[in-house]
A and B are shown apart, each in its own frame.
Chain A
Amino acid sequence: MKPEILFLKYAFPCSFVLKQRGEISQETLDMLENAAINSMPLGREILEKIYFRAIARMKALAKELHKDYFSEDLIREYFTKRHNELLDGMCNGIKDKGLDIDKNAPPALKHLCKVFSSKIIKKGEDYYVVHYDYGGQNKKTRVVSRSLLPDAEIGDFVAIHYGYAVEKV
């Protein structure tokens, strides 16, 4: 998969929040949704402008790991690991302006923002119901849209971000 497509699939679920915060317009949100659903690669300069927070953190991570910041490998490393660690406040040594307003954020919302590996237990017309581990013995259930990953089956493991299945893992 082209890194531009993979990045957008992981980042797109956050776009609703950017719209709620007034950072992007409804037209931009629709354009991003269309590109994410149809796996259309957008220009990197557009992605870097809209998702500047993620890009800045990916660049920092790439520097640590001596990797290209816009490779499939690094995009997965960022969204499935670093992004969650930042939300858990585990990266105290890292300067991160974007986190300033989020320190007091409710746990339920931080939780939705994380990326989890989950198992599909039910398939609906346009959604999956998934199960995922959440601390020790706790299993959580979530409804996620099939729009970014329409062809997964019951029993498959998929990465989820907010209300979307992102890719098979």
Chain B
Amino acid sequence: MCLAIPGRIVKIKSNVAIVDYKTEQREGRIVEGHCKKGDYVIVQGGLVIEKIPKKQAEDWLKAFQK
């Protein structure tokens, strides 16, 4: 299955989050709910679609780096 890799919010300017994916940075608009710097999120179509719990995101990223 094609499970996504989350990115980490490194900066928020008004409602736009700069999301770091190690290999690239992507922007996502926050249109619903609250996000803060350091949160792990999935960005698609220029939108922040969901927050991923920190522990789950970090474990998954570690598994990918192996």
Contacts and interface: CB of A to CB of B under 8 A. Distances in A.
Interface residues of B, number: 26
Interface centre among B2, B6, B44 (most CB of A within 10 A): B2
A127 B52 contact: no
Contacts, number: 95
B64 to A, nearest CB: 9
Nearest to A51: B2
A109 interface: yes
Interface string A138-150: 0001111101000
Interface residues of A, number: 37
A108 B52 contact: yes
A147 B9 CA distance: 24
Interface in B11-47: 21, 31-33, 42-47
Contacts of B43: 163
Contact of A141 (B1, B32, B60): B32
Interface in A51-94: 53, 83, 86-87
Interface of B: 1-6, 21, 31-33, 42-50, 52-53, 56-57, 59-60, 63
